Amino acid sequence: MADRPAHIRLRHVTKRFGDALAVDDVSLDVAEGSFTTLLGPSGCGKTTTLRMVAGFHRPDAGDIFLRDVRVTDIPPHRRNTAMVFQEYALFPHMTVAENVGYGLRMRRVPGPEARRRVAQALELVGLSGQERKFPHQLSGGQQQRVALARALIVEPEVLLLDEPLSNLDAKLRVRVRTEIRQLQQRLGKTTLYVTHDQEEALAISDQIAVMHNGRILQVGSPAEIYFHPANRFVADFVGLANFIEGEVVDAHHVHVNGLVVTVARPIARAGRVTLVVRPEMVRLLPAAAVEQPALRGRIAATAFLGSLTRYWVTADGNEWVVDVPAPGHETLHGEVALLLPSERIHVLTE
Amino acid sequence: MAVLRWGEVRRHAADPGLALTFLGAVGILVLFVLYPAFRVLLYPSLRDYLALPQSLRWMQAARNSLAMMLLSTLSATFVGLLFAFAITRPDVPGRRFFRSIAMLPLFAPPFMVAFAYILMFGRLGLITHTLLGMTANIFGWHGLWMVQTVAFFPLAMLIITGVLEAANPSLEHAARNLGADEWSVLRTITLALARPGIAGAMLVVAISVLADFGNAVVIAGGFPLLATEAWFRMEGMGDLRGAALVVAMLLVPTVALFLLERYWVSRRVYTTVTGRGSRIERPPTPPLLKWVVVALCALVSVLILLVYFGVVAGAFTSVWGRDWSLTLSHWRLAQDRIWTLWSSVKIGAIAGVMTGVVGVVVAFLTSRNLPLRNFLDFLAVLPGALPGVFVGVGFVLAFNTTPLGGTLWILATALAFWHLPMGYQAAAARLKQIERSIEEAAVNLGASGLRVLWDVYVPLLFRALVEAFAVSFIRAVTNVSIVIFLISPGQVVATFVILNMIQNNIWGAAGALTTMLLLLTFISIGLTWLLVGRVVRTSAVAG
């Protein structure tokens, strides 16, 4: 991916609203044809960043480029960065066809061609035959597709999506996000996506930029972000994590409460470090079944979730979260042993 | 509809208090709303109605009324749209100022704008005569047009502002994002979204213009209009039949507009499709448009300030237009008539209590699942469609020969029931906001039926009650269209005296009394604000 040229480039972009620093010196490259997600809690500056790419806010400092063109001073209606809004922003006084055709009307595309392209766009999102309905007559999922068709029809240079799934119910959210991803890959459209839902970000992206307090904390592939978080915030925000304090022994070993834990990636520092252990990495066995030296603890609470069972285990004064996949009818009780596989454990370097 | 379900009847028979209250409410509304209306409509004979097209003067009045309706509605809605636009754009300078200024005409007694413009733009007007040295004649349709535009545009502004504010700024951003420039956004999104609101505003303004008696009687001069013609018939000629005919004619368009507004336009307003989402600022306004709007709004603001300035200045000026020295002599003359102000206050207080109590009780009843509650609702909103002069003539015909006639009670009752829709709708809206689960919680914890009313609804409706009282009181004290038909030598009210003074060119004392009315109005608004923490709106439909 790195060899593809950057399509969207942000360079030291900063934005203030009054006294509040919304976006703080953000730089980011979005590769041609890639699906990049800005992920972070509300108020982290992700939507502001997206809106600056669309041109709704002007950065106080820094620049934004689309390919080699500096667009920082170009007004939003000349940027061709079509956006899907969180609340869709469908025009309530226009039919589906008028909504989808609005961008073409503003570009003075002649009638017959516009009609052909509207039909095409609606077919693309599976809404053929709904042309004459009004937005309020559609379901949430259908409104979402109209918003998508309305953005895609103008053949935007880049596609911007601002939490487009947050108004859908949970099941529909999963289905529509898959559809969005498939459509994006089929069209090869460079896409910048904003969400606060880490699972959504992991599922849909080529690249994730995790934001917090207006800054980008880490940029990487979903697997990189999940398995090798740059700091405690990223580790905590993306997925569940157990944090364990330890003392570095050498490049591959950490001393944790009387046990020596092996890690795959070499550690470049000495002293106290924090280990990140994902709940599903830990193997949980009845205490009696394990003879080798292992972390031992006691189950404090259990939640059966169907595809996995989640245990809260008290061990060495820490509360551990451990997921046991495909549990079937088996449930563990009482004293248990926790086994930590070396290749998955991550050491925080910050 | 009228089929009574036995289960319900039996259920309500078990709660005789509620059933009796319900029957009582229906009875009272039929007596004080429906009965006077039918008296008016049935007073002239069929032959009288059939002869209407032959009466040149009345057909002229009808044509004039419709022409004024069109003119003033268009101009008032246009100015209302300008103000609504200005105050909903965050980048328009002075928007808060414009919003406050534009509310002022709503608190003015219904003849005040006309009175002030005679002082400003009349033959001896401060601006026309003294400053510009012109010979101006403000009496007639053009003066009335200007007066009604200033008096009624705030109604349009309030309605259109509501619609513009409801439009999600995201829509404008989306249009920009899809390639629309600032003017295209304005044309295809902002104004297009406001269309139903503009239509609704036009209907409400049109009703107010048609029913406008106070301004017309002061400034229309010899220009015959339906609203004033009824009074001239009765005062000049004692012609009750003629008066009834004229107000019946006036009723046709106002009821039609009212129904159109209530059952058509108000359901067509585009509410934004989705709820949550960050509230974001609207995109910038085109600079040229922004400054044109600001200039026009500033001009209208000056016209509004002149209304208040004129009346107060008139109260302290020796001889308006000739001797500009300050004096207090008008206040001595006004003091001779101050007893009429006390009559007004008494009548207003009685009307306020009646509007508040009846409004809250009826709202409570229509919120219950009772048979005929739609009929009760209809009776409670119907007065909103009736011009004041119609109600005035109706009460004359229905109650002047009863013991009510000639007392302040006939005045208070007429005003109270004319104002009922405001009290009723405020209480009904409040009731709708109260979740049924609150009542259920009270019952669940052991409260009986009456305790629920007392513990839950009375405290929660207190605000609606206070507001209904205040609105009804203020409007009663400043009313002219109804009181002018119902006063008797023993029961003269302040507005009637002021009207007479204006017509006899006793402007100073008229200004002094009007200033006192204004003080009364603003004190009432202030007290209500202290009690309920909100500024009440006194004008829904003018009279």
Task: Walk along chain A (350 residues) in steps of 10 and give the mean pLDDT of each run.
Answer: 75 93 95 96 93 93 94 90 90 92 92 94 92 92 93 93 89 90 93 96 96 96 94 94 90 85 84 91 89 87 93 89 89 89 81
Chain A residues touching B188 at Cβ < 8 A: 102, 105
The pLDDT value recorded for residue B145 is 97
Helix boundaries (H) for B317-419:
329-336, 338-367, 373-381, 388-399, 408-418
The pLDDT value recorded for residue B484 is 92
- Weakest-pLDDT range from A21-35, B30-44, B420-434: B420-434
The closest CB to that of A85, out of B170, B180, B270, belongs to B170
Q: Which tens digit of pLDDT belongs to each residue from B373-386?
A: 889 999 999 999 99
Which pairing describes strands A318-325 and A308-315: parallel, antiparallel, or unpaired? Answer: antiparallel
In this model, does residue B539 exceed pLDDT 70? Answer: no
Chain A residues touching B287 at Cβ < 8 A: none
CB proximity list for B129: less than 8 A, separation 6 or greater:
B122, B123, B135, B136, B321
The pLDDT value recorded for residue A3 is 55
Q: Do A85 and B277 touch (CB under 8 A)?
A: yes
**Phi, psi at residue A251, to the nearest 5°?**
-60, -25
Q: Do A82 and B276 touch (CB under 8 A)?
A: no
At B538, is the pLDDT very low, low, confident or very high (cuts 50, 70, 90)?
low
- Across the range B74-85, mean pLDDT stands at 96
Size of interface A-B (CB pairs under 8 A): 92
Q: How many CB atoms lie within 10 A of CB B5?
A: 9
Q: Do A77 and B176 touch (CB under 8 A)?
A: yes
Say if residues A150 and A177 touch (Cβ distance below 8 Å): no
In this model, does residue B434 exceed pLDDT 60? Answer: yes
- Residues 280-309 (A) with a CB less than 8 A from some CB of B: none
Q: Which tens digit of pLDDT belongs to each residue from B454-490?
A: 777 777 888 888 988 999 999 999 999 999 999 887 7
Q: Is A259 exposed, middle or buried (0-12, 13-18, 19+ CB in 10 A)?
A: middle
Chain B residues touching A80 at Cβ < 8 A: 179
- Across the range B513-541, mean pLDDT stands at 82
In this model, does residue B6 exceed pLDDT 60? Answer: no
Rounded CA gap, A338 and B466, in Å?
Answer: 68
Distance from CA of B272 to the nearest CA of A (A): 7
Distance from CA of B273 to the nearest CA of A (A): 6
The pLDDT value recorded for residue A86 is 87
Q: Containing H/E element for B530?
A: helix B507-532
Chain A residues touching B276 at Cβ < 8 A: 87, 167
At B278, is the pLDDT very low, low, confident or very high (cuts 50, 70, 90)?
very low
At B279, is the pLDDT very low, low, confident or very high (cuts 50, 70, 90)?
low
Say if residues B472 and B351 touch (Cβ distance below 8 Å): yes
The pLDDT value recorded for residue B275 is 40
The pLDDT value recorded for residue B533 is 77
Q: How many CB atoms lie within 10 A of CB A303?
A: 11
At B450, is the pLDDT very low, low, confident or very high (cuts 50, 70, 90)?
low
The pLDDT value recorded for residue B537 is 67
The pLDDT value recorded for residue B34 is 96
In this model, does residue B541 exceed pLDDT 70? Answer: no
Is residue A276 classed as helix, strand or coil in its secondary structure? strand
Q: Do B271 and A92 touch (CB under 8 A)?
A: yes
Rounded CA gap, B205 and A150, in Å?
Answer: 38
Chain A residues touching B179 at Cβ < 8 A: 77-78, 80, 103, 106-107, 154
Rounded CA gap, A185 and B80, in Å?
Answer: 50
pTM of the complete model: 0.82
The pLDDT value recorded for residue B273 is 41
The pLDDT value recorded for residue B542 is 35
Say if residues B310 and B121 touch (Cβ distance below 8 Å): no
Q: For residue A18, what is the DSSP state? A: T
Q: For residue A88, what is the DSSP state? A: B
Instruction: Report yes or no: B189 at the A interface, CB cutoff 8 Å.
Output: yes
Residue of chain B whose Cα is closest to the Cα of A160? B177
Is the pLDDT higher at A318 or at B345? B345
Instruction: Report yes or no: A103 at the B interface, CB cutoff 8 Å.
Output: yes
At B276, is the pLDDT very low, low, confident or very high (cuts 50, 70, 90)?
very low
Instruction: Report yes or no: B165 at the A interface, CB cutoff 8 Å.
Output: no
Chain B residues touching A81 at Cβ < 8 A: 177
The closest CB to that of A92, out of B184, B270, B278, belongs to B270
Q: Which tens digit of pLDDT belongs to each residue from B81-110?
A: 999 999 999 889 999 999 999 999 988 899
Residue of chain B whose Cα is closest to the Cα of A107? B179
Rounded CA gap, B179 and A107, in Å?
Answer: 7
Instruction: Report yes or no: B285 at the A interface, CB cutoff 8 Å.
Output: no
ipTM of this complex: 0.79
- Across the range B174-200, mean pLDDT stands at 90
Structure token pair of residue A101 = 């055709």
Q: Which tens digit of pLDDT belongs to each residue from A55-86?
A: 989 999 999 999 989 999 998 988 889 999 98
Residue of chain A whose Cα is closest to the Cα of B279? A87
Rounded CA gap, A56 and A42, in Å?
Answer: 19
Instruction: Report yes or no: A171 at the B interface, CB cutoff 8 Å.
Output: no
Among A244, A240, A222, A226, smallest CA distance to A347 is for A244
- Residues 104-143 (A) with a CB less than 8 A from some CB of B: 105-107, 135-136, 143
